[in-house]
Chains A and B, each alone.
Chain A
């Protein structure tokens, strides 16, 4: 099986400071990878480099495109990368406000990606939006409401619907449950797990919350100071951590 996404020797520095370095991994179709570490460990920098939001200093980020097979996304023309970003890829921000248009209705938010790739039938766009609101458990009657009238959990679910409506194959998530109440988090995780399974999504999830990766991720990368210090199957890493830092991470969660 060929990987869907393949990263080689990625490095990003800010002046003299390392953002992340020496990152290489493969992600296979349908696989969910978790990236954990404390704040400042470089996991968000890495995610933004992978998703094309930040330009890394060195390395390659290959993606198995539908039309031309494996391509280095860093060397793609900007229009091609943007097209990827609104069709085959999705990005879920920690703060739903960063991923939503707050002054546009829920239906418009979900429909935007469809319209960006050429959907021109209002009724069909609206039907797709209604369908997706249902799948993320938002009442269809709220379709013309603006996200500012939604709760934090609903905003996050709306952001997920907006991202998944084009049937992407790869989803980047940056602390998707951060800032939500514990009970809301549980519901969202449940929903995410269902969607990932049903759609056969590949995903890369950045989080500091080991419970999130335990539930969602097949594999895990542990980052510290911009380096990957340990990686492997999720259960293996969490149940038998090898690196001292991972041991500390795991034990701190157990204590908590």
Chain B
């Protein structure tokens, strides 16, 4: 008796049991705790929060554990969970100018008010495997190596773009519509305006956005970026409470913000001005934030009167439709689902066409 497609239900159950067992691994090795993941794999947690569009380090850590470290799978878990959360309201725009910065650097000025703050960065580490970590020994406390210069400074840190702006050297950002569209509540429609583009980029796949940004640097929609400022730190989130009639602080989140200063525009009638690209991402995620700023800038070609070079990073519909890794991975992997009905119909067609081709003098096309 023919049974090939039967038994799906039991097979699925068995696969799930096996998966749970594999996730746990050998029982003589201690199980990872959520706290360990949250604090020791913090950058993975940040990425999951950013692309999952949900700021909750504990849930992100849980997702990473459940996903066995597959970050896209973890992002997927977060997104699916996010769907079920009721929307209570929205916050005021966060003031990144008032950010308590752990890190703040500018590539355009050697020194600036508030100073350059390196913070906990990989930038100047030598990428040598640290075999001391194998031994799981104690690690130096921050500040013990006399590295206080890298620690956050208490001084206020005005944004670089603000003091460039004071002299009119950089384009003003035009205020957008009062309430920006929300891509998680409305279907994406093209052409997408800038708030919508930024939302999509902010939750877009880090690798994809990086690749797009990199392509602009290699000449596919080049826009001469300087990192005007990169800052990482915590900001307060405020929300209007209708019952109270005023805004209260509901918490703090860590953000990475990148503003690039790009090639200038100008003409006979208008003085030259630098332009900008913008990136803002949950958590310490600076590769993503810089990438986002470059791609944002490339997508602004039309508004800034630049030529369409036909570069992929200039094509908003292309970039935005392919940036989401949950959409991408789902659709990519769905081709492993059964397609034998479609395939069967193709099979019949090819057989028919071959049969016709082998009969002499086919007049079918005439």
Contacts and interface: CB of A to CB of B under 8 A. Distances in A.
Direct contact of A and B (CB under 8 A): yes
Contacts of B269: 16
B366 interface: yes
B2 to A, nearest CB: 41
Interface string B246-287: 000000000000000000000001000000000000000000
Contacts, number: 3
A123 B269 CA distance: 60
Contacts of A16: 269
Contacts of B366: 123, 126
A122 B87 CA distance: 55
Interface string B140-174: 00000000000000000000000000000000000
A16 B366 CA distance: 57
A254 B280 CA distance: 64
A123 B364 CA distance: 10
A125 B366 CA distance: 11
Nearest to B269: A16
A126 B363 CA distance: 13
Interface string A48-78: 0000000000000000000000000000000
Range class of the A interface residue count: under 10
B259 to A, nearest CB: 28
A91 B297 CA distance: 36
A179 to B, nearest CB: 20
Interface in B45-97: none
A16 B269 CA distance: 10
B307 to A, nearest CB: 14
Contacts of A126: 366
B270 to A, nearest CB: 10
A16 B270 CA distance: 12
B357 to A, nearest CB: 15
A38 B170 CA distance: 38
B201 to A, nearest CB: 30
Interface in A13-28: 16
A126 to B, nearest CB: 8
A51 B41 CA distance: 61
B363 to A, nearest CB: 11
Interface in B336-366: 366
B231 to A, nearest CB: 37
A122 to B, nearest CB: 9
Contacts of A123: 366
Nearest to A127: B366
Interface in A105-144: 123, 126
Interface in B211-269: 269
A107 to B, nearest CB: 10
A240 B223 CA distance: 52
A120 B8 CA distance: 46
Nearest to A122: B365
B221 to A, nearest CB: 22
A224 to B, nearest CB: 21
Interface in B302-345: none
Nearest to A16: B269
Nearest to A123: B366
Interface string B165-209: 000000000000000000000000000000000000000000000
B69 to A, nearest CB: 44
A126 B366 CA distance: 8
B239 to A, nearest CB: 43
A115 to B, nearest CB: 17
A123 B366 CA distance: 7
A16 B267 CA distance: 12
A24 B341 CA distance: 62
A123 B365 CA distance: 9
A123 B363 CA distance: 11
Interface of B: 269, 366
3 tightest A-B contacts by CB?
A16-B269, A123-B366, A126-B366
Interface of A: 16, 123, 126
3 contacts: A16-B269, A123-B366, A126-B366
